């Protein structure tokens, strides 16, 4: 397979965008031969959107507005002739159906497929999911995971769902990471396990930056962005095809 140019949609938030850019470069450098003078960089085109405009529509539950706004931004990546799309956000994957409708020729490397592959390798069938409130309440991520015969469960009370989203919006999304917030998320992980989760998806890049496996060594964590980044780098390097990940 030939090396591919990734079209990376980011800005929601800039914190995850930085993590993706750094992670893609580091992962790619481990996959390809070293350059004569410097590590080789993966080929990518990035478009960063206005997180505030996105967040306003998100909080107002204006899903169509969110999808249209993000798909409009993807059009710039298509115009720049990327080979495939990488959306650097779990929540922003709600725009995938609209993107596929507008740009049927553009392959999408879905974060849920990358995450599900790692879960299947462990043989798990019931998994917890933590993320933004839309990611937990709506079905765009859960339905894609279900295509891999995996059931997801989320916190079962509105207070927890709202508090998780508040922490993401007010702290993690602006690069603020507190010990007491970490303790809250660790408690949420334990609650999901008590309800039968065999592991937990950290379905928000910013949560991955806060909670580490060593914080809950007894619970398998699946860092969706980390898995997405690793798969994207392999596609960029030409050693993995998107077809190998789809259900």
pLDDT tens digits along 113-146: 999 999 999 999 999 999 999 999 999 999 999 9
Please report the pLDDT score of residue 16 as a whole number. 82
What is the per-residue pLDDT for 1? 63
Name the phi and psi angles at 223, rounded to 5: -80, 100
Rg for the chain, CA atoms, rounded: 17
CA distance 133 to 138: 8
The range of the structural domain enclosing residue 25 comes to 6-110+226-244
> Do 89 and 38 belong together in one domain?
yes
End-to-end CA distance of the chain: 21
Our count of domains for the chain comes to 2
Residue pLDDT, tens place only, 63-108: 999 999 999 999 999 999 999 999 999 999 999 999 999 999 999 9
Q: Is the pLDDT of residue 36 over 90?
A: no
188/95 same-domain check:
no
Residue 119 lies in a domain: yes
State residue 174's pLDDT score.
83
Residues 205 and 124 in one domain: yes
Residue 95 within any structural domain of the chain: yes
* Residue 12 in this model has a pLDDT that exceeds 90: no
Q: Does 44 share its domain with 124?
A: no
Higher pLDDT, 208 or 116: 116
70 domain-assigned: yes
Residue among 19, 9, 16, 23 nearest 231 (CA): 23
212 CB-near residues (< 8 Å, 6+ apart): none
Structural domain contains residue 1? no
Order the strands of the 200-202 sheet from edge to edge: 151-153, 126-130, 200-202, 221-223
Provide mean pLDDT across the span 175-185: 94
Please state the rounded mean pLDDT for residues 174-200.
96
Same-domain pairing of 59 and 86: yes
């Amino acid at each position: 397979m030939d090396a591919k140019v990734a079209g990376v949609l980011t800005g929601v938030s800039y914190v995850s965008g930085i993590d993706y850019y750094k992670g893609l470069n580091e992962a790619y450098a481990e996959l390809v031969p070293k350059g004569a003078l410097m590590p080789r960089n993966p080929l990518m085109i990035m478009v960063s959107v206005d997180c505030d405009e996105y967040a306003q529509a998100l909080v107002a539950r204006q899903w169509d507005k969110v999808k249209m706004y993000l798909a409009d931004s993807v059009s710039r990546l298509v115009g720049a002739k990327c080979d495939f799309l990488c959306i650097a956000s779990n929540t922003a994957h709600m725009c995938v159906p609209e993107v596929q409708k507008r740009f049927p020729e553009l392959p999408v490397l879905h974060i849920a497929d990358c995450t599900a592959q790692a879960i299947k390798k462990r043989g798990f069938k019931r998994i917890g999911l933590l993320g933004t409130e839309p990611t937990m309440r709506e079905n765009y991520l859960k339905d894609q995971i279900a295509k891999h015969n995996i059931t997801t469960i989320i916190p079962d009370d509105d207070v927890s769902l709202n508090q998780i989203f508040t922490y993401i919006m007010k702290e993690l999304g602006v690069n603020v990471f507190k010990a007491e917030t970490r303790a809250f998320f660790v408690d949420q992980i334990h609650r999901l396990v008590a309800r039968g989760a065999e592991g937990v998806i950290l379905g928000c890049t910013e949560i991955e930056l806060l909670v580490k496996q060593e914080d809950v060594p007894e619970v398998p964590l699946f860092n969706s962005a980390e898995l997405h980044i690793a798969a994207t780098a392999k596609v960029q390097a030409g050693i993995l095809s998107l077809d190998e990940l789809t259900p």
